[in-house]
Amino acid sequence: MFTTVHANNVLDVLGRFLNMGVEAYQFVSALNCVLAQRLVRMICPHCKRPAPVPRALLVESALDPALERTHTFYEGVGCIECNGTGYKGRMAICELLDLTDRIREMILARRPTSEIKKAARDEGMRFLRECAVERVMEGTTTLREINKVTFVE
């Protein structure tokens, strides 16, 4: 079965089920994974240009301010292809929580979300923000765009 639950991230889905009165043992045995996704606009390939990123934006985005000097960031300047927006098309950024035995046990034991998150990270989970920052670093989207749809932790 496939369903949609509105939440900010995969870990909030677990809390949402519990808040709806679903017992943990009922959904933990049925869940294989939880996927969270957001759409971000992609920089228009026709008008994509290197662009300076203000140090303040890097700090606000929880990135190393030294990237201002060492990394090339991009933006679309606007053209006829993108109707002057600088963006053309969208792409998904996502995070996937695989419900391993360890994670299932933690949910059943009602461990704090912070502990479950740490365990998921230890098992190799990449979070939504990390996926988004990766897309910025490869020049596919902008910091301003990912800051609209993801949270700095």
pLDDT digits (tens, 9 = 90+) for 96-127: 999 999 999 998 898 998 999 999 999 999 99
Please give the structure tokens belonging to residue 44.
């228009």
The residues, ordered by sequence, that sit 6+ positions from 19 with a Cβ below 8 Å of its Cβ are none
Residue that wins the pLDDT comparison between 3 and 151:
151
pLDDT at 129: 93
Q: Among positive and negative, which fits the CA dihedral 92, 98, 99, 102?
A: negative
Instruction: Give which of 63, 2, 11, 70 is closest to 30, Cα–Cα.
Output: 2
Assigned fold of 10-149: Rossmann fold (3.40.50)
pLDDT at 78: 96
pLDDT at 152: 83
Report whether pLDDT(1) > 60.
no
pLDDT at 18: 80
Report whether pLDDT(130) > 90.
yes
pTM of the model: 0.84
Residue listed under structure tokens 């998150």? 117
pLDDT at 2: 62
Averaged over 123-143, what is the pLDDT?
Answer: 95
